[in-house]
Structure 1
Amino acid sequence: MTIHHRESFLEGLADQLGRPRKTTVEPPAYSVKPQERVLAGASPDELVDVLEKQCEFIHTSFEKATVETLPQTIRAILNGNDVTRVVAAGGPRNQVSGMDQFYDQLRTEGLEVLVWDEQQGREQVTFAEKAGAGIVFSDLTLAESGTVTLFNDRYNGRSISLLPETFIAIIPKSTLVPRMTQAARLIHSQEAKGNPVSSCVSFVTGPSNSADIEMNLIVGVHGPVKAAYIVVGDL
Structure 2
Amino acid sequence: MTIQNRERFLNNVAQHLGRERKTKNVERPSSSLMPQWQVFQHHSQDELADELELQCHSIHTTCKRTNAENLHTVLQETIEELKGQRIIASDDSRNETFGISSLYEDLQKKGITCHIWNSADGQYNLDYAESADVGITFSDITLAESGTVTLFNNSGNGRAISLLPRSYIAIIPKSTLVPRMTQAAKHIHEAEQEGHGVASCVSFITGPSNSADIEMNLIVGVHGPVEVTYILVENR
TM-score, L = length of structure 2: 0.90
Q: CA RMSD in A?
A: 1.9
Letter in 1 for 2:51: V
Alignment of 1:35-114 (within 5 A): 35-114=36-115
Q: Which has the larger radius of gyration?
A: 2
Whether the aligned pair in 1 keeps the contact of 2:85 and 2:113 (CA below 8 Å) is yes
3-state SS, counterpart of residue 202 of structure 2: strand
Tell whether 2:135 aligns with 1:126: no
Whether the aligned pair in 2 keeps the contact of 1:14 and 1:21 (CA below 8 Å) is no
CA distance in 2, matches of 1:88, 1:233: 20
3-state SS, counterpart of residue 198 of structure 2: coil
Q: Which runs of 4+ in 1 moved over 4 A?
A: 15-26
Q: How far apart are 1:28 and its partner, in Å?
A: 3.3
CA distance in 1, matches of 2:35, 2:25: 26
Match of 2:139 in 1: 138
Structure 1 residues without counterparts, runs of 5 or longer = 1-5
Alignment of 1:180-219 (within 5 A): 180-219=181-220
With over 3 angstroms needed to count, the CA separation of the structure-2 counterparts of 1:24 and 1:217, relative to structure 1, is: farther
Superimposed CA distance per residue, residues 199-232 of structure 1 (whole angstroms, 9 cap, x where no aligned partner):
1000000001011112111100110000000011
Whether the aligned pair in 1 keeps the contact of 2:76 and 2:103 (CA below 8 Å) is no
CA distance in 2, matches of 1:158, 1:22: 39
With over 3 angstroms needed to count, the CA separation of the structure-2 counterparts of 1:81 and 1:13, relative to structure 1, is: same
Letter in 2 for 1:75: Q
Superimposed CA distance per residue, residues 125-157 of structure 1 (whole angstroms, 9 cap, x where no aligned partner):
000001000000000000010000000001110
CA distance in 2, matches of 1:48, 1:185: 20
TM-score, L = length of structure 1: 0.91
Q: How far apart are 1:81 and its partner, in Å?
A: 1.6
What is the aligned residue count? Answer: 227
